[in-house]
Amino acid sequence: MSQLVINIPGEARVDAIERVFYEQFNSFDGQIKEVILDFRSVWFIEPSTSTTYIIAMLYMCKEKGYSFKIIPPGNNGVKIILYTWRFFEVLEEVTSCKISEFAPTLENDFKKGKSINVRLSSAINRNLKYYTDVDSLDIQGYFKKKYLGQDGICFLTLNEKFFPLLSLNFDSPESKQQEFLNEKIRWRNAELINRILSNNLTNLEIKDEIADNVICETISNAIIHSTACKFFTGSYFQFTEPNANKDTTYHFTINFWDSGKSIIETLKLPLINKKSIISVKTKNDFLSKHNEIEFFIKYEDKKYIEESFKSSFSELDPDDDERILLAAFFPGVSCSPYREPDIFNQIPAGIGLSYLTNTVVKNLKGEIAIRTKKYFLNIRQLTGYDKDQYIAQRKTTDTKKPKRKEIFSDKTTYYSAKFQIFNNQMPEFIGNMITIRIPLKYR
């Protein structure tokens, strides 16, 4: 049997994990029959983003006909994180494979209930290597006085299972409808999360923005467009270090993955069939209240390319996957531009991902990352440094470089769009993984 062994890196952040997958697939010579994920070197893992990516990749392995096995971590803190975030349960639900098949050495842990009876605060601190004694008065006092904070987050994670990975039932239109409503209610009623976010974001009242413009728009996009039969979500409220600098930025992360058609393929089909993907009325209604949108594109560590991509575009090449993916975030763009509002999306077609970008990137100063097909895309605000970098590299026959105000308008919202492309033997990513990162400052 031809086995592909992937050693998950010690600091298991999603970019490092993806790099290892890419390198191992491209260096493997032969026909893959089985993929083995070795966690033994892991001492840190991102609870939500890394676990989401790994589950998505193992789903891809199964769909490609590869069996898979997991060698569990030796670090107990990492093991507890995987248990607490329901990594193994959701992996079972998404792949329809039993833990007794892919990680038989862990089966007894579940039977004995070890995955439930853990102290998350202890696990997090061990994992980040500043753990001393979670039962000491100093540590307990730290958690209790950490304003709205760590104890509430622990409660939501362990007792309410709010942050850990959650697989939604996408078996039928009726179940999708019910799950959509359940998630909307779950986030709208998450008073503690809304209070924590509101108190850690400067001059912004959260209200229902997370529930309506982030959760609902992302899930409804998966339901309406992607033909997904599998979907799961998870989140992670980053814990502070006891001696953290007050100006340190932390992040609240929310992840979504669906097994359906890529966003690119969804928009590509009407383009191939010479059909419109733009609702002019929806686009104009949005732009009457918001700025024009313009993406500045770069590839990995390269410079920004000179030609930007504006929401005022008139034509789109069906073979230009990168711009098709970006177009999905423009107002009025949809594979069904004249779709009537329904229970999943009570706003006009082609507006959901624009609201998502407007809320997360423009208002909350966060980032959106998309993994689909062979692409990884990161969307964030275009900073002053980015603008100066673009001007410095801009091709011009003039001896004097233009000033910012000569290129950038106050009536346009500018975003940076950074692409990474995975080619060669790396199988295409199945479905769509969306990661939302919202910066916080603990006060």
Residue 359 covered by a domain: yes
User: In the chain, how many domains are there?
Assistant: 2
Residue 26 covered by a domain: yes
CA dist list (Å): 273 to 196, 227, 350: 48, 19, 19
Residue 254 covered by a domain: no
Nearest to 325 by CA among 272, 264, 368, 370: 264
CATH of the domain at 80: 3.30.750
Query: Is pLDDT of 271 > 80?
Result: yes
Per-residue confidence (pLDDT) for residue 185, from 0 to 100: 82
Q: Which domain holds residue 296?
A: 263-421
Question: CB of 297 within 8 A of CB of 278?
Answer: no
Query: Is pLDDT of 112 > 60?
Result: no
Residue 138 covered by a domain: no
Residues 6+ apart with CB under 8 A from 53: 14, 17, 18, 371, 433
Encoded tokens for 112: 């004995």
Residue type, 351: I
Q: 274-322 pLDDT, tens per residue?
A: 888 877 777 777 777 778 899 999 987 678 888 889 888 878 899 999 9
Give the pLDDT mean for 357-376.
Answer: 91
Residue 384 covered by a domain: yes
Residue 326 covered by a domain: yes
Residue 255 covered by a domain: no
DSSP H or E segment with residue 400:
none
Per-residue confidence (pLDDT) for residue 95, from 0 to 100: 95
Q: What is the CA radius of gyration of the chain?
A: 22
Euclidean distance between CA atoms 362 and 415, whole angstroms? 9
Quickly state the pLDDT bin for 239 (edges 50, 70, 90): low
Residue 127 covered by a domain: no
Give the pLDDT mean for 199-224.
Answer: 69
Coil, strand or helix at 87: helix
DSSP H or E segment with residue 197:
helix 191-200
Euclidean distance between CA atoms 278 and 301, whole angstroms? 32
Which residue is listed with tokens 């979907």?
231
Quickly state the pLDDT bin for 110 (edges 50, 70, 90): low
How big is the chain, counted in residues?
Answer: 443
Quickly state the pLDDT bin for 148 (edges 50, 70, 90): very low
Query: Is pLDDT of 244 > 60?
Result: no
Residue type, 6: I
